[in-house]
Amino acid sequence: MRKLLALLFVGIVVLASGCIGNQVGLTKEKVLNALQNIETAHYNDEFSIRMHFPDPKTNRTVNITVSGQLIGLFNTTAGLEEGNMSIKTHMMGFDIGMNWPYFINGSRAYFRVDGRWYNVSHANDLYSRIRASLNLNYINDLLKEKDVTIEKLSNGYAFRVNVTFWEFANATNQTGYLEKLWDVNGERIVNVTTKSGWVEVHFRDDGTPTSIETYMKLVITGKGLNGGKDALFMTVHEKVSLSDINKPVEIKAPKGIESAKDFEEIFE
């Protein structure tokens, strides 16, 4: 009994001194170091957007559902990415679908639509949508700017942190695009209120991220044509899964990319 009490006492002292618990587990520094060491990866990005707003003419509620998936791979050192984006939109009983391959070389991004390649400018939100490697910067910014607690799970580690829409936009480098889109003559014509929002990131034991999940419930208000305020209610859910991290990948420029047209020509 005396020996058992002695062992218990030693255990309590060790815990109190921080030798167990505080120094065991995954730290921010370890994750940040792992992020810096990621060069290549495959990814699967699945997202859904649900929106509804009142039609000012009929006073009926208009519902829009968008779901999509991006499957691809990237090489951050070479600045290359390639993949395929498929999106399905359901609105007022109609379904609209698209299935576009894409390619990224440095700061230039391209879509192939109906067999022809188009250059997508930085001012288009599709540019940041297909830059899957930006998720690494996203995690990096969250760890540096938010107070997070990394918890041990049965399989790896994870943290979940609350975020607002603008925190998300800032961490994903979209504030410049949105401010340009929503500010007219120095006046913000669109405002976003975050009702709820969170990001959950899972890691391997060595700090390498395996998935990034984002959820947001938003109210977007803007000036209507009659001078009043129109409101759009939106729920966004996205999960990006990473695999084959730092395994060899081969990404080559596709044929026809050198004669790519401007993306805006699609709508002319």
* pLDDT tens figures, 60-99: 888 999 999 999 999 999 999 999 999 999 987 888 898 9
Q: How far apart are CA 83 and CA 130, in angstroms?
A: 8
The pLDDT-based confidence of 200 (bands split at 50, 70, 90) is very high
pLDDT at 13 over 80: no
The pLDDT-based confidence of 108 (bands split at 50, 70, 90) is confident
The pLDDT-based confidence of 106 (bands split at 50, 70, 90) is confident
Single-letter residue type at 18: G
What's residue 227's pLDDT? Answer: 54
Question: DSSP code of 133?
Answer: T
What's residue 14's pLDDT? Answer: 34
Axis-axis angle for helices 134-145, 28-36 (nearest 10): 160
Q: How far apart are CA 66 and CA 227, in angstroms?
A: 28
What's residue 167's pLDDT? Answer: 86
**pLDDT: is 231 or 9 the higher one?**
231
Q: Is the pTM of this model over 0.75?
A: yes
Q: What percent of the chain lies above the pLDDT cut of 70?
A: 81
**pLDDT: is 94 or 9 the higher one?**
94
Q: What is the pLDDT of residues 158-199, one digit of tens each?
A: 999 999 988 887 777 666 656 666 666 666 678 888 999 999
Question: DSSP code of 121?
Answer: P
Long-range contacts of 17-24 (CB under 8 A, 24+ apart): none
- Mean pLDDT for 121-146 is 81
Q: What percent of the chain lies above the pLDDT cut of 90?
A: 50
Q: Nearest to residue 208, comparing CAs of 40, 20, 22, 70?
A: 40
Q: Quick check: 73 and 42 in contact, CB under 8 A? A: yes
What's residue 24's pLDDT? Answer: 47
pLDDT at 255 over 50: yes
Q: Lowest-confidence range among 55-59, 140-144, 176-180, 197-201?
A: 176-180
Q: Quick check: 119 and 110 in contact, CB under 8 A? A: yes
In 76-114, at which residue ranges do the beta strands (DSSP E only) sit?
80-91, 94-105, 108-113
What's residue 22's pLDDT? Answer: 36
Which residues have CB under 8 Å from 151's CB, separation 6+? 157, 158, 159
Q: Quick check: 84 and 68 in contact, CB under 8 A? A: no
Q: Name the residue with tokens 């609209």.
A: 96
pLDDT at 7 over 60: no
pLDDT at 122 over 80: no
